[in-house]
Structure 1
Amino acid sequence: MTGIQDTVRLHNGVHMPWVGLGVWQTPEGKQVEQAVLHAIGAGYRSIDTATLYENEEGVGRAVRESGVKRDELFVTTKVWNADQGYENTLRAFEDSRRRLKLDVIDLYLVHWPVAGKYIETYRALEKLYKDGYVRAIGVSNFMVPHLENLLAQAEIKPMVNQVEFHPRLTQPELQSFCKEQGIQLEAWSPLMQGHLDIPLLQELAAKYGKSPAQIVLRWDLQKGIVTIPKSVRKERIEENANLFDFELSDADVAEIDALNEGKRFGRDPFTFWSTSA
């Protein structure tokens, strides 16, 4: 990896940037538009939104106003839990596409594995993919049992699984499973919602002349995990992109790995919306 626009090749041949901007909890309107424009100006080419975030319109406006060719940008959105089910998902997708004002979405995800619905929801994604409305499809917050159940019934293997992933929650079993299946793991809340006051991260930041956030994001990349840090501040957006002039040693990567304690800052996929496999 040499820069912010480097990509990973998904199993269907589509190239996805290693680093993107997450816009969760970024208000619709000027704030999300400015954040996206700052990111694209800093070299980001991937933006991650969702129906739940209620800012797809602003993301779409910023994409159009950025001056960057549409085929150089990678836009992700997700179907929310209340919209799951086959027909509901198809309608929700059209609503997202209308808000974004984009003919084709680069990546469409099932936001959570809602019990009794995520299989038919994913079938709708397969149709959208076959019909050419999305370039790649995948899931979010799916654990190994959900993926096993889905893979047993799906025609098209998910290209991406976006999950909570950070030094306190490394999910090694899920990492291994996704790697074996050729499903690209992507980290949401990679910076632990700001909980970076960990002595080891402070020590490594001093050692490498970087911030604790940069240490964590570089760790993501060296583990082969796509990362989408969220920020609305121009200087922080730029800082989060400055990851390609240093490399963590294997020993330091292992030390960060050892911080894992199974701690979530977000919802548990096994209990949120009764998401049993």
Structure 2
Amino acid sequence: AMARNVMLATGAMPVAIPCDKDGMDTSRLPVPKDVALAFVTPSHQFPLGGVLPSGRRKALIEWAISGNTYIIEDDYDGEYRYDVRPIPPLWMIGQGRVIYVGTVSKTLSPTLRLGYMVLPGTLAEPFVRCKQITDRHSSSFEQEALASMIETGAYESHVRKMRRLNAERRTVFLNAMAEAFGEEVDIVGTSAGLHVVVWFNHLIASDEERFAGCARQEGVGIYPISRLYAAPTDQRAGFIFGYAGLPVEQIGKGVNDLVQVYRSKFRSA
């Protein structure tokens, strides 16, 4: 949503592409010569969680080459994969058409405000000029600390530790949801990342804001998915559930509080 808002602020006209369980449907891409760039999250599509398969990756690259356009690859949650092997970034097969961006917000802290880009060689100079115009430079202290962590291996060790911890949180959350709601919900996007999308089979999209509000009153933060799409993808109510910021022992309590709201105000037990 933030990327879309940034592009809107520049006067760009976004073109929405349908997504399914495998991420962006590359068969629905517009004619490339009419497009300035494509923005994708192939490691973990936000918010539905699909991982773009190799066939679609190749199709996307071929599309960009044919139109002499660029792809922005946001490696969203690329560090956190649980049930499948990591897939190499799109830029590795990008043939100079991919701008790769990432951040340490999900691995260290969002307060650091540190991100990075891997650019095609021809774009390096204009991007350096743009950086100078926008904010001169980022804080050297945080950059040097991160560089030291990378060089010593401390950063990689930390990421492995956080992947194990978040995998535990994910397992506890999924087990608690299965016990509390059973077949009344469908959960998608579980193979990677730090959130999932939960579809409630007996709630409709118009219930989303009220249900989220009732949950919030009980101290449970869930976020309606309808805020994030250009057009409806499902008639059911859907919500984003983040689990990475919670101690493991609190996850079960949160799910129990949520099911009480659901049973008492939205569905008979």
The TM-score with structure 2 as length reference comes to 0.34
Q: Identify the structure with the greater helix proportion.
A: 2
Larger Rg: 2
Q: Looking at both structures, which has the greater relative contact order when contacts are Cα pairs under 8 Å and sequence separation is at least 6? A: 1
